Every structure is written in structure tokens, then in C-alpha cells.
């Protein structure tokens, strides 16, 4: 017999030291409709793996197959945290102790890569369609990017 939950998460009374952070989130438009189709258990992981692979190229480097010129991306600094959100992902970066601000060139490169992926997401969908033979794939990928003070909760 499974043990019943007797409490939920409890955080320390004070958060960790503040740091400057960058948060990126993506959301798949139309994911709920896609998720409500028959045999979803066979298709959702395959589709999400295609999107995850594209995001890995954006962040960790590789060939942007969705780009008309198959541009090669160099790796960006790896995020310190990533979390699956059901219909998207959250990525978090934190500045190193000796850094005062994120490199503006890094932000520009990241934004350009995200824009290219958003603008050519139909090519990711074309590739996914071979593995995911359903009618209603999510139609677009949307991004949000913010920077500011972050606190670690323990």
C-alpha cells in the first residue's frame, strides 16, 4: 500500500543569495488540442523529442536543419536549470560570481537563434510529421526571455 502524503514541500525561511539570472521559456501553441487525440501516448514523446532536439541545437550547438542554409551554431553557455512544463520548457542561466552582466552579444545571438527557430518552426513540424502521423500538431512555438535578480529556494 502506498504511503499517503502528509505534507507538501517546505522551503527554508530565507532564500539563498541573490544572483543575476536569465530565464527562457517556450510554449507550444495548440498543444492541448494535439494532446487530446487518440493514441496520444504514442505521439507526444516523439513530437516533444523533435522540439527538444531543435532547442538543443539552439542552445548547445549543431546544425540548424530548419534554417534554409543549414547554419552551424556554436554552443552557448549551458543553463543551470531546465524544467519541462507540460507544453514547453523553462531554462535558467545565472551569472558567474566575477561577472557583472550578461554579455549583450550572447543575448543577441540567443534572440536571433530563437527568432530563426520560431520563424521556421514549420520545417521542424515537417520533420516531426514523419514520426507523428496526426492531423493537429502544435502550430507554433513561442518564446519569452527575461533577465533580472533570481533567488535560490531550498
Cβ–Cβ under 8 Å, residues 149 and 19: yes
Is pLDDT above 80 for 134?
Answer: no
> What does the pLDDT look like over 75-131, one tens digit per residue?
999 999 999 998 999 999 998 877 778 889 999 999 999 999 999 999 999 988 888
Instruction: Provide DSSP, 60-72.
Output: H-EE-TTSTT-PE
Is pLDDT above 90 for 143?
Answer: yes
To which residue does cell 542554409 refer?
Answer: 69
Is pLDDT above 90 for 1?
Answer: no
Instruction: Mention every residue, 6+ apart, whose C-beta is less than 8 A from residue 75.
Output: 59, 60, 61
Report the distance separating Cα 85 and Cα 25, nearest Å. Answer: 9
> What does the pLDDT look like over 31-61, one tens digit per residue?
888 888 777 888 888 899 999 999 999 999 9
Cβ–Cβ under 8 Å, residues 92 and 85: no
What's the whole-model pTM score?
A: 0.87
> Nearest CA to 124 among 82, 64, 44, 76?
64
Amino acid at each position: 500500500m502506498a504511503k499517503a502524503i502528509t505534507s507538501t514541500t517546505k522551503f527554508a525561511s530565507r532564500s539563498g543569495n541573490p544572483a543575476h539570472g536569465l530565464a527562457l521559456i517556450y510554449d507550444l501553441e495548440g498543444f492541448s488540442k494535439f494532446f487530446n487525440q487518440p493514441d496520444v501516448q504514442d505521439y507526444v514523446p516523439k513530437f516533444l523529442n523533435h522540439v527538444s532536439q531543435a532547442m538543443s541545437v539552439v542552445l548547445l550547438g549543431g546544425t540548424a536543419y530548419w534554417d534554409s542554409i543549414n547554419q552551424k551554431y556554436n554552443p552557448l553557455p549551458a543553463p543551470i536549470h531546465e524544467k519541462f512544463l507540460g507544453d514547453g520548457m523553462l531554462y535558467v542561466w545565472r551569472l558567474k560570481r566575477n561577472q557583472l552582466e550578461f554579455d549583450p552579444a550572447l543575448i543577441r545571438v540567443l534572440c536571433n537563434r530563437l527568432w530563426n527557430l520560431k520563424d521556421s518552426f514549420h520545417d521542424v513540424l515537417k520533420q516531426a510529421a514523419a514520426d507523428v502521423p496526426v492531423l493537429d500538431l502544435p502550430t507554433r512555438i513561442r518564446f519569452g526571455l527575461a533577465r533580472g535578480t533570481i533567488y535560490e529556494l531550498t
